[in-house]
Amino acid sequence: MAEPLLQLEAVRKRYGQGELATEVLHGIDLRLDHGEFAALIGPSGSGKSTLLNLIGLLDRPSAGRILIQGRDTAALDEAALTALRGRILGFVFQFHYLIDAFSAEENVMMPLMAARGRPTPDMRRTAAELLAAVGLAGLEKRPANKLSGGQQQRVAIARALAANPPLVLADEPTGNLDTASADEVFALLRRFNAERGTAFLVVTHDPRLAARCDRIIRLVDGRIVEDRRVNQGS
């Protein structure tokens, strides 16, 4: 059996100290393999965002282990985590979180530039390809704040894929879009999953979208209450 892309072992997350401490996640075990397309669903306050932050290496667990490609992340320092994040993970947020001061192309190149320190023609080529893949060819030089909501989210997806990470974390990627745009964006995620083998973990409220994923992980009150595979092979 191949090494899992991501593995969580008995992960707990507490906030606050002493009597005021509240545990948000109560021992999460989760395994995600290369090329998966999973939905993370659950009511608000169930700990979805906390879990995503931990998986995204933006935060550290209070207990338990997070292994990325078999490597325990607890031993890594801040700089190493940042580097690992840039290499392994792509992010798509509910709000596009593009940097307005940059053009579409530069936003896409950002993870590459951030890691390597300066732009190269290669990065520009990658950005152009990705923008073309998300249907934004010709808009490379347009400032991020001059794009429509759907376009911005597509740029964000292109950006998440720029460093060709094996895993993309998407937090309500379509939450801010109208149904038509949402469908398009979701279709894009599925296409990248199919074409590049990128694994996706998509947090969503939308049961309709969850139903179009290969696997549904349901989180309630900080526990995984359901983890099932759906419409395999579709």
Residues in contact with other proteins by the rule CB under 8 A = 49, 53, 56, 58-59, 78-79, 82-83, 85-87, 91, 93, 97-102, 106, 110-111, 113-119, 159, 163
Report, in Å, the least distance between residue 67 CB and other proteins: 19
Report, in Å, the least distance between residue 164 CB and other proteins: 13
Closest to other proteins by CB, 53 or 181: 53
Report, in Å, the least distance between residue 84 CB and other proteins: 8
Separation of alpha carbons 25 and 60, rounded Å = 12
Separation of alpha carbons 21 and 29, rounded Å = 22
Report, in Å, the least distance between residue 130 CB and other proteins: 14
Report, in Å, the least distance between residue 222 CB and other proteins: 17
Report, in Å, the least distance between residue 59 CB and other proteins: 5
Q: How far from 107 is each of 24, 37, 67, 78, CA to CA, in Å? A: 33, 25, 29, 23
Closest to other proteins by CB, 54 or 213: 54
Closest to other proteins by CB, 76 or 113: 113
Closest to other proteins by CB, 163 or 224: 163
Closest to other proteins by CB, 204 or 215: 204
Closest to other proteins by CB, 133 or 163: 163
Closest to other proteins by CB, 91 or 186: 91
Report, in Å, the least distance between residue 208 CB and other proteins: 25
User: DSSP string covering the chain, please?
Assistant: -PPPSEEEEEEEEEESSGGG-EEEEEEEEEEE-TT-EEEEE--TTSSHHHHHHHHTTSS--SEEEEEETTEEGGG--HHHHHHHHHHHEEEE-SS----TTSBHHHHHHHHHHHHHSS--HHHHHHHHHHHHHTT-TT-TTSBGGGS-HHHHHHHHHHHHHHT--SEEEEESTTTTS-HHHHHHHHHHHHHHHHHH--EEEEE-S-HHHHTTSSEEEEEETTEEEEEEE-STT-
Separation of alpha carbons 96 and 173, rounded Å = 8
